[in-house]
Copies of this chain bind each other. A is one copy, B any other.
Amino acid sequence: MLKLNVISIDLITNFQMAVLNEQDAKDLGILPNDRIKLSNGTDELILIVDITKKLVKKGTIGLNSDCFLSKIKENDAVRIEPIERPLSVEYIKKKLSGKELSKDECRQIIRDINDNRLSSIEMGAYVAAVYTHDFNMKELFAIVDEMVNTGRVFKWDSEFVVDKHSIGGVPGNRITPIIVSIVSAAGLIIPKTSSRAITSPAGTADTMEVWCDVNFSIDQIMEIVKKTGSCFVWGGAVDMAPTDDKIIKAEYPLSLDPEGQLIASVMAKKIAMGAKYLVIDIPFGPQTKVDTLYDAEALAIKFKKVAQKFNIKCECTLTRGDQPIGLGMGPTPEAIDILNVLNGNGPDDLREKSLDLAGILLKLTKKGNRDTAQEILDSGQALKKFKEIVIAQNGNPNKDLQKMLGKHKAEFKAKTNGHITEIRNKELTQISRLAGAPNDIGSGIILKKKLNNLVKKGDTLFEIYAHQEFKLKNALKLSQKYEPIKIEQKEKILVKEV
């Protein structure tokens, strides 16, 4: 055991990080990537260690900002001791061998992830293990339960706490703010937390930021929900199922999203949020995360089994994911779509999908059905509720969104007459991101045509908006390379000849 003084080290790695002087490391008998326990008497951290000759002096330990989310602070005197390889490394190996894990082994893995006992190499092996031998239902229940236990659990006075989730993979698709506004206007409680974009042109949190703040503490969120019955906030500052974020950080570089882990992550957050009724949207198709209707149905059944185990009434919608939902991609373009629908207009697909899901929540809670949802939307009650929430989140619901679009604009035009037979989601996403989305709030794409539309040569297929000229140029260049919207002489009916 050693006593060291904490200094701050300015490195953003996505992980908590400790840097030790090589002399201290030698005295502790530890090598790079070994684990230590660090304690200041009131709080403790488990950290993976890097070693330095000069960056950190003997007698001190460097911690990066992620560490200071704990009660360990700069200049603290801390005790350091090396700790063993955690138990769960053995359980990950067991899972890799294809054996079923006991409940306790599942729980231990989640606890070790939560305590940062696993290095990034071990996290990679964990994600790989779940990908290669997915959780069975028994394991899944234990994983979900422990993911809930290791974080904050919300309690509400109302019985009618509802939630909505989309497993994602379809650009645009900004149905959440519309659904929240409708069901909240109908009297349901929907404390909605959303994510920011990782690889998409915008997440719901990025889009809502066009109008208002989304970054609130737990107490502030409780206050907003108390006032309006709902919220649209960023989930990152809320300590629900915190292991999920850590697992996602390991999944992202591998673009592995094992089904069992996906289900566990979604359901743990919904349980922690206190939802009693839930609708889950599962877009399917070759461009999404779920290839076929058959796969989507299998996934839906698993979601419903976990929901039932934890006393949540849950319905899943299996929806087409063969093109973006709505016209906009990027924060402001998507915000424009939302406001149009709340004002009783299109885009039709965004309107219809939002009504479908809102209707299911009203039906589950016996507060109405799809028709009720449509009345609430068309009567302006949803818009009114939307504005109320935006104001409660320190925002301005009356912004001129057109003026917020990036100043640099390009139009991508049809090179021939015909029908639109294919719209490539992933390519449009890449183009939007090159244009600056989601960081540049007014950047992205506005589609002018969708699947099966007739076009003439020279018609605009989509517009690109950017805040900086070089980003527009790069986005346009990629559009020309990809031609992400395909035009053919006839509607494409025959898919494959065998």
State whether the Cβ of A123 lies closer than 8 Å to any Cβ in chain B.
Answer: yes
A79 at the interface (CB under 8 A from B): no
Does chain B have a CB within 8 A of A55? yes
Contact of A10 among B55, B123, B250, B255 (CB under 8 A): B55
CA distance in complex: A254, B93 (Å): 8
Q: A404-443, CB under 8 A of B: which get 1 and which 0?
A: 0000000000000000000000000000011000010000
A132-B439 Cα distance, complex, nearest whole Å: 40
A54 to B96, CA, bound (A): 41
Q: What's the Cα separation between A433 and B28 when bound, in Å? A: 12
Give how many A residues have a beta carbon under 8 Å from the other chain's beta carbons: 49
Contact across chains for A124 and B128 when beta carbons are under 8 A apart: yes
| Smallest beta-carbon distance A427→chain B, Å | 14
Task: Give A93 to B12 CA distance when docked, in angstroms.
Answer: 27
Oligomer: number of copies: 2
Residues of B within 8 A of A252 (CB): 33
Docked pose: A51 CA to B11 CA in angstroms = 6
**Interface residue A127 (Cβ < 8 Å from any Cβ of B):** yes
| Contact present for B11 and A55 (CB under 8 Å) | yes
Interface pair B11/A93, CB less than 8 Å apart: no
A124-B122, A250-B121 are known contacts. Are A89 and B255 too (CB-CB below 8 A)? yes
A256, B96: Cα distance in complex, Å: 10
Closest to A97 in B: B132
Interface residues in A51-70 (C-beta closer than 8 Å to B): 51-55
Contact A120 B124, beta carbon cutoff 8 Å: yes
Contacting pair B50 A33 (CB below 8 A): no
- Tell me the A232-260 residues at the B interface (CB within 8 Å): 249-250, 252-256
A52 touching B12, Cβ below 8 Å: yes
Residues of the B chain whose Cβ atoms lie less than 8 Å from the Cβ of A53: 10, 12
Give chain B nearest CB distance to A253 CB in angstroms: 5
Considering only residues 88-124 of chain A, those with a C-beta below 8 Å from chain B are: 89, 92-93, 96-98, 119-124
Please name all residues of chain B whose beta carbon is closer than 8 Å to the beta carbon of A250 when the two chains form the complex. 121
Asked if A128 and B96 make an inter-chain contact with CB atoms under 8 angstroms apart, the answer reads yes
A22 close to B (CB within 8 Å): yes
Given A26-B439, A121-B121, A121-B123, do A51 and B254 touch, yes or no (CB 8 Å)?
no
Q: Are A33 and B14 in contact (CB under 8 A)?
A: yes
Are the CB atoms of A125 and B254 closer together than 8 Å?
Answer: yes
Q: Does A401 contact B (CB under 8 A)?
A: no
Chain B: minimal CB distance from A49 (Å): 9
A433-469 CB mask vs B (1 if < 8 Å, else 0) is 1100001000000000000000000000000000000
Closest Cβ–Cβ distance, residue A419 to chain B (whole Å): 32
Check A402 for interface membership: any CB of B closer than 8 A. Answer: no
